[in-house]
Amino acid sequence: MKRSKYFILVILLLVTSCDMENLIPPTEGELVKLEIDSPDSITLNSGDILQMEVRGVYVVSNTDVITNTGILQSNTYYNQTNDSSFVEINPATVAWYSGDQRIARVNSGLISAVSVGSTYIYAKKENVVSQKIDLIIK
Amino acid sequence: MKNSLLLILCCLLIVNTSSNLFAQGDEMPGPLLGFSYGGFNSLHNGFDDIYSDNSMPIEYFFGVGYKRIYLIGKYKTYSANGRSIVDNGDFIGSADYSQEFFMFGLRFYDQNNNKLRYFLEFGAVSSLVSETITTDNRVPELSSSEEMQEWGFGISAGATFMFTRFVGISGSVEYTRLMFDIENGYETGDVNLGGFFISAGLVFMPFSD
C-alpha cells in the first residue's frame, strides 16, 4: 500500500513537471497575441467556479548578417527572420479583468459566478489584450 | 578582342614603318615583335581562395631598338572566375575577374649577334582590374561590379633563341607590382594585385644583325 502511494506520488510529480514546462514562456521574443482557451460565450450558474486557460504567441526576430566578398569589394545583406511559437501561459502570471465584478469575478484565470446577469472577462499581459469572453450567469 | 586586334595592327604598322626607315644600314634601330603564352600567378593573398579557374594569358609585345636596347610595349589580359566568399548564408557565391596589363619600358639584351640572347626588362605598368560578384539566388544587395585602375612597375628576365636570322623563341619570367587602394574587399588598404607571369613564345626581330 505504501509502495503504491509513492508510485502515484512520482507519477503526479512527473505530470506536474511536464505541465510546468508547457507553462514557461520563452525567455526571448515578444508576446504578440494573447488568447483565452474558451468559446466566445460561457454560461454558468450563480456560485459556479471555472478555471480558464490562456495561450500566447511569442515572436523571436533574428537578423542574419550575410556578406559576399570578392577581391575588390564586399557586400552586406541583413536578412530578418521571425520565428513564432504558440505557448501556454500560467494564468497566475496574467492580469484578468471582469466587466462587472458584481456578476462575476476572475482571479488568476479562475472565474467565480457571483450573481445573475451577463458580463465579460478578458486577460492582459505585456500590454497585449486577449479576446473578450461573454459570461451569462443564471 | 578588339583591343588585341588594334594592338597587332599598330605593331605591324610600327614594324613596317621602321623597316622602311631603317633598312638601309646595319647600325640603324630595328623593330621587335612577338607574343608569348603562359601562366600568371597573382600575389594577392586571397586570390586562390576565390578564383580557381584561371586563364592562361597571351602577351603581345612590340618594340623598337638599337643594337642591345629596345623600347618595348606589352599588353595582356588575364581573366579568372570562381566563387566569392559568402559568410552566414546558404548561398553560393560567384565571381568573375579580369585584369589588363599595359607595360612600357626598356629591354636590354646581353648581346645582339648571338643566337642565344639573354635580356632584362623593366618599365611602368598600367593595370585595369574589374570584378563582378553575385550569388546563386541573385540577391541584389549581394551583387555588384567594381573597376579600378592603377600604375605600378614590372621587371622581367628571359632569353631569346634565334633559330633563323629574324625569328626566335623567347621565354621569360616577369614580376609586376601594382598597389591598389582597396576600401572594402578580401583585403583592405594597399593591396598588391601584381604577380608573376612565366611565359614562352615567338619573337620576330627583323634587321637584328
> Going by C-beta distance under 8 Å and a sequence separation of 6 or more, which residues neighbour residue B18?
B29, B30, B31, B64
Chain B residues with beta carbon closer than 8 angstroms to that of A72: 129, 131, 146, 148, 180, 182, 185
Give chain B positions within 8 Å (CB) of A76: 141
pLDDT of residue B205: 85
Query: Does residue B24 belong to any structural domain of this protein?
Result: no
Instruction: Give the model confidence (pLDDT) of B59-70 as tens digits.
Output: 999 999 888 899
Residue-level pLDDT at A79: 86
Strand ranges (DSSP E) for chain B?
Answer: 30-42, 51-54, 58-66, 69-82, 85-87, 93-109, 116-135, 144-162, 167-177, 179-182, 189-192, 195-204
Is B62 a member of any domain? yes
Alpha helices in chain A (DSSP H): 2-23
Residue B23 domain flag = no
At B29-66, the pLDDT tens digits run 789 999 999 999 999 989 999 998 888 999 999 999 88
Task: Answer yes or no: do A69 and B85 touch at CB < 8 A.
Answer: yes
Whether the CB of A73 is below 8 Å from some CB of chain B: the reply is yes
Interchain contact B43–A (C-beta under 8 A): no
Q: Which residue of B has its CA nearest to A65?
A: B88
Digit-coded pLDDT (tens) for A49-95: 999 999 999 998 888 899 999 999 999 999 888 888 889 999 999 99
B172-189 residue pLDDT tens: 999 999 999 999 899 999
Looking at every residue in chain A, the average pLDDT score rounds to: 84
Does residue B137 surpass a pLDDT of 90? no
Looking at this predicted complex, what is its ipTM? 0.78
Question: A112 to chain B nearest CA, in Å?
Answer: 54
Please give the pLDDT value at position B206: 79
Give the CATH number of the domain where residue B123 resides: 2.40.160.20
B149 is a domain residue: yes
**Domain contains B209:** no
The domain tally of chain B equals 1
Chain A residues closer than 8 Å to B187 by CB: 71
Taking contacts as CB-CB distances below 8 angstroms, the residues of chain B near A67 are 85-88
